[in-house]
Amino acid sequence: MAESAPSGFLSPQNPKDTTRFLVSDLCSILETYLDPDQISEVYRAYLFGAEAHEGQMRQSGEPYIYHPIAVAKTLAEMRMDHHSLMAAILHDVIEDTATAKEQLEREFGAEVAELVDGVSKLTHLHFESKAEAQAENFRKMMLAMVRDVRVMMVKLADRLHNMRTVGALRPDKRRRIARETLEIYAPIAQRLGMNAMRRELELLGFRAYWPLRYAILELAVQRARGHRKEVLHRIEASVVNRLEEAGVVARVIGREKNLYSIYKKMREKGVAFADVFDVYAIRMIVEDVDTCYRCLGIMHNLYKPVPGRFKDYIAIPKANGYQSLHTTLFGPHGIPLEIQIRTAEMDHVAESGIAAHWLYKSGDRHSATAQARAREWMKTVLEMQQSAGDSIEFLENIKVDLFPDEVYVFTPKGDIMELPRGATPVDFAYAVHSDVGNSCVAAKIDRQLAPLSTQLESGQAVEVITAPNARPNPAWLGFVVTGKARANIRHHLKSMKEDEAVALGRRLLEKALIPLGQSLDTVPEAQVQALLAEFGIADVERLFEDIGLGTRMAPLIARRLVGDEEPAAGGKRTPLAIRGTEGMVVSFAKCCYPIPGDPIVGVMSTGRGMVIHREGCRNVAEFRGQPDKWVPLEWSAEVDREFPASVRVQSENQRGVLATLASKIASMDANIENVAFEERDSTTTTITFLLSVRDRRHLARIIRSIRNTPAVMKIWRMRG
């Protein structure tokens, strides 16, 4: 009596390495369900693959091409479409040969090229198991990388053949692949409802990972099978008899448990072999749902049912769409008898899962896309669940797996981290720790430096580079997607801005007190407290902050502190020194772009702090008469940064002008932040550069150098 695996999958009790399978054998399977032109496409893929792998050998010593043919055969037995089969035959050519994806696209079209590319990407992933949770994330990562679920089916068929031939590998490699198969691939097959595939992967994985345990169990099963042969025959005969009496047509199949599930049960439940194995199992395949329930009645009438063991998975299907009736009976001599009853259709879905939806139907030429079919499968499963009134929590899992909203990336330690779709290295950094996020300056993706705004993709390895004094950049708020990153950046910027506002406010107030002959140290404390009370402010720091942000005016506060209500007429105000490192509360106006050496002035802007303009800028003219808003400034001697400055060049319209100017600018040790063109007429061009320069002298040297360029007619610095 054999397991009722569909043709093509090895019997779980008897897995053996497949022998060489020829392309002609593949074609004869294809003839049963594909059109001749589709078959010739598959054959063309074979010729291409055979040439690409020419001269390559597998570990077993046979020509490499037998491997992809075997992979295609597994998919042909599941009656997959011809594109999947072509991808199966070509699945290793990007990886193992000089063939590029573009070449496949030219030869076989975008669909096949995408499938092959998808399989190659999965091949790059290596699973190092650390914990059960890690395996779960790895499975999710693989599924998240698959846009087209057929990629996963090709990969599963690939893995199946590798497992069937795993004996040729070195023991350590064999164990690694076996473990990956048990922890990753078999559960994925199960999630996609592909039970026949799952069973064989488990069995082969078990045999390769624990050869000794496998051998012992196999021996035990053989012995036990000999003992019970007769009993099983008797039971089967009486079941068949009873069904015939009732006039029910059913295919009755005796079953044995798969070695790996026996092993798992013994291990998980800590039970003896006899308790697991001494269960007789029978599956009945009948015509329709009504007959399923009739069969059940007949069985419960033949032997007494074990209470609490009846399960109606027809009314309430399992998460992956599995449907069947399960019951356990007290057989002769009290031997438990497990019964499964289902229709042929349910049996097919139970064995093939999502693959059942690829069944080729004639006249189905313009069939749905892969994604539509995957959706179809999910919809079927969902409808079954809903009509059963069951919770649809399972759908969350499946949906996440097939249409992921998450990306899964590796940390430098090899852990897998889950992030929402669109996440960037900054999101990643904050997910690791908020300190890492706050101090990140650069990122490496798959060991290559990448911008912090790069959207991450599943399967990438991400590393964040931090610097001790780095700070979050307000621009990050434009691209982060996680709440954690956003909240942390905002919080950090806010407290930074507060600190900077306090510092600026204190300096502004000090300066404002000087013309009044006072300083912060000499102002009477009682006066300070009275003012704070009047404003309803808790402490003097908040008062500085208000001044720094421009919501309160320093000259006004200064007069209140010294009890002088009259504006100091003609009192000489000393300028505040600007270093350019005051932070977010001090900004440089984009109308006139002041640089060190320019006469400058500050304008307080409520809530935003101070904006620095060139003194002659026409945008500040209106504030000249308002001493409360107008802050006299000077450049500190210790400015150590670059500032943007805008220059406009009018030149002859000739080829290569921009390159000439750019190289001149670079040779003057300045950066070009931005360039804008404007063609006046056919002979002249106007180019506006935004440069970053140290000071006026630096800018003057650049302007002189540009002016000396023959094509340049005119150059001038822009003002507000």
Per the annotation, the verdict on 96 as an active-site residue is yes
Shortest distance in whole angstroms from residue 91 CB to Mn ion:
6
Shortest distance in whole angstroms from residue 657 CB to Mn ion:
56
Distances (CA, A) of 230 to 218, 236, 237, 244, 328: 20, 10, 11, 21, 20
Which stretch in 12-20, 154-162, 593-601, 606-614 sits in contact with Mn ion by CB under 5 A?
Answer: 154-162
Give the integer Cα–Cα distance in Å for 638 and 517: 27
Q: Give the residue with the Cβ less far from Mn ion, 158 or 582.
A: 158
**Residue 111 within binding range of Mn ion, rule CB under 5 A:** no
Q: Give the residue with the Cβ less far from Mn ion, 67 or 257.
A: 67
Q: Give the residue with the Cβ less far from Mn ion, 72 or 355.
A: 72
Shortest distance in whole angstroms from residue 90 CB to Mn ion:
11
Q: Given candidates 41, 111, 114, 158, which one binds Mn ion under the rule CB under 5 A?
A: 158
**Residue 92 within binding range of Mn ion, rule CB under 5 A:** yes
Number of residues forming the site for Mn ion (CB under 5 A): 2
Do strands 250-255 and 280-286 pair parallel, antiparallel, or not at all (unpaired)?
antiparallel
Angle at 283 between CA 30 and CA 6, to 5 degrees: 15
169-178 contacts at long range (C-beta below 8 A, 24 or more positions apart): 169/59, 174/208, 175/208, 175/209, 177/208, 178/204, 178/205, 178/206, 178/207, 178/208, 178/209
Shortest distance in whole angstroms from residue 95 CB to Mn ion:
8
Q: Give the residue with the Cβ less far from Mn ion, 116 or 612.
A: 116
Residue 542, both tokens: 């908040």
Q: Give the residue with the Cβ less far from Mn ion, 162 or 685.
A: 162
Residue nearest Mn ion (C-beta atom): 158
Q: Give the residue with the Cβ less far from Mn ion, 96 or 418.
A: 96
Angle at 373 between CA 371 and CA 378, to 5 degrees: 95
Which stretch in 157-165, 180-188, 422-430, 710-718 sits in contact with Mn ion by CB under 5 A?
Answer: 157-165
* Dihedrals phi, psi of 678, to nearest 5 degrees: -155, 115
Which stretch in 142-150, 151-159, 174-182, 572-580 sits in contact with Mn ion by CB under 5 A?
Answer: 151-159
Q: Give the residue with the Cβ less far from Mn ion, 124 or 234.
A: 124
Shortest distance in whole angstroms from residue 67 CB to Mn ion:
6
Strand order in 325-330's β-sheet?
A: 250-255, 280-286, 336-343, 325-330, 311-312
The single-letter code of the amino acid at 602 is G
Shortest distance in whole angstroms from residue 404 CB to Mn ion:
24
Catalytic residue among 96, 107, 287, 390: 96
* Range 600-629 burial, b when 16+ CB lie within 10 A, else e: bbbbbeeeebbbbbbeebeebeebeeebeb
Which stretch in 26-34, 92-100, 127-135, 224-232 sits in contact with Mn ion by CB under 5 A?
Answer: 92-100
Shortest distance in whole angstroms from residue 166 CB to Mn ion:
12
Which stretch in 88-96, 136-144, 445-453, 634-642 sits in contact with Mn ion by CB under 5 A?
Answer: 88-96
Per the annotation, the verdict on 95 as an active-site residue is yes
Taken as a whole, the chain contains a residue count of 720
* Dihedrals phi, psi of 606, to nearest 5 degrees: -55, 120
Catalytic residue among 51, 95, 278, 678: 95
Q: Give the residue with the Cβ less far from Mn ion, 92 or 463.
A: 92
Q: Classify residue 351 as left (phi > 0), alpha (psi -120 to 50) or beta.
A: alpha
Provide the β-strand partners of residue 442.
Answer: 465
Shortest distance in whole angstroms from residue 152 CB to Mn ion:
14
SS3 444: strand
526-545: which residues touch Mn ion (CB under 5 A)? none
* Range 23-49 burial, b when 16+ CB lie within 10 A, else e: beebbebbeebbeeebbebbbebbebb
**Residue 427 within binding range of Mn ion, rule CB under 5 A:** no
27-46: which residues touch Mn ion (CB under 5 A)? none
Angle at 675 between CA 452 and CA 593, to 5 degrees: 85
Which stretch in 32-40, 86-94, 259-267, 424-432 sits in contact with Mn ion by CB under 5 A?
Answer: 86-94
Positions that interact with Mn ion (CB under 5 A): 92, 158
Which residues carry out catalysis?
Answer: 95-96
